């Protein structure tokens, strides 16, 4: 899926991904964005792999070290941390990528009322951010609690189809 044409200032772009899909598909577009300048990534699902990003940067012909210095990665383990990360100042005009946004709102230790309030706060911040820079949010389709609201508030929704390659496993080992 080529998400680069969908990313533009003033639009909140949402990529819906199947529960079993990771973020490997996103590494090449992130490498392109990082090659152009500063990039901010907020990882809500704790699955972002900077090593894969470095490999994608190298595959595009860039020296990974200086490019990775322009990539700002923060991980949010709770919906409170996500709200705090979204409130931090961003490098001027740099794209923001929020990975697995809804994962942080699955915490049953936080009341539904509080999660709903924090989600509304995050959504308002994301809309404000989208007005000034390219913004991509990924969300797994298995996280259904706030998914409809997120879709309704997105300017563009991309649906990723993921089918893992079949793996033939031997039934018996040869001795």
pLDDT of residue 101: 93
Q: What is the pLDDT of residue 154?
A: 92
Are 71 and 57 in contact by the 8 Å Cβ rule? The answer is no
> Is 88 part of any domain?
yes
Crossing angle of the two packed helices 50-59 and 27-36, in degrees rounded to 10: 70
Q: What pLDDT sits at residue 3? A: 65
CATH number at residue 154: 3.40.50.300
Name the nearest CA neighbour of 101 among 70, 141, 54: 141
State residue 22's pLDDT score.
67
Which residue matches tokens 């490498």?
31
Residue 167 lies in a domain: no
Phi and psi, residue 6, nearest 5°? -80, -20
Domain span at residue 141? 13-159
Q: Hunting for tokens 């044409």 — which residue is that?
A: 5
Residue 168: inside a domain: no
Q: Which ranges of the chain have pLDDT less than 70?
A: 1-7, 21-23, 162-175
Tell me, yes or no, whether 3 lies in a domain. no
What pLDDT is stored for residue 158 in this prediction?
85
pTM assigned to the model: 0.85
Does 166 map to a domain?
Answer: no
Q: Give the HSE-up count for residue 39: Cα atoms under 13 Å, Cβ half-sphere.
A: 24
Task: Say if 7 falls within a structural domain.
Answer: no
Other Cβ atoms less than 10 A from the Cβ of 7: the count is 18
Q: Classify residue 97: in a domain, yes or no.
A: yes
Q: What is the pLDDT of residues 29-73, one digit of tens each?
A: 889 989 888 899 999 988 888 899 999 999 999 999 999 999 999
Q: How many domains does the chain have?
A: 1
| End-to-end CA, the chain | 44
CA distances from 138 to 34, 38, 96, 165, 169 (A): 18, 19, 11, 22, 32
Classify residue 173: in a domain, yes or no.
no
């Amino acid at each position: 899926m080529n998400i680069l044409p969908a990313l533009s200032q003033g639009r909140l772009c949402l990529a819906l991904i199947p529960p079993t899909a990771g973020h490997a598909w996103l590494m090449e577009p992130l490498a392109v964005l990082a090659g152009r300048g500063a990039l901010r990534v907020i990882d809500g699902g704790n699955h972002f792999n900077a090593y894969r990003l470095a490999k994608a940067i190298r595959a595009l012909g860039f020296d990974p070290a200086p490019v990775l210095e322009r990539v700002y990665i923060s991980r949010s383990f709770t919906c409170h941390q996500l709200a705090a990360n979204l409130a931090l100042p961003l490098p001027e005009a740099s794209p923001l990528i929020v990975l697995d946004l809804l994962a942080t709102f699955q915490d049953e230790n936080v009341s539904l009322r509080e999660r709903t309030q924090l989600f509304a706060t995050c959504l308002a911040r994301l809309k404000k951010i989208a007005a000034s820079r390219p913004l991509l949010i990924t969300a797994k389709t298995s996280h259904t609690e706030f998914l409809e609201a997120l879709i309704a508030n997105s300017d563009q929704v991309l649906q990723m189809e993921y089918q893992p390659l079949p793996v033939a496993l031997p039934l018996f080992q040869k001795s």
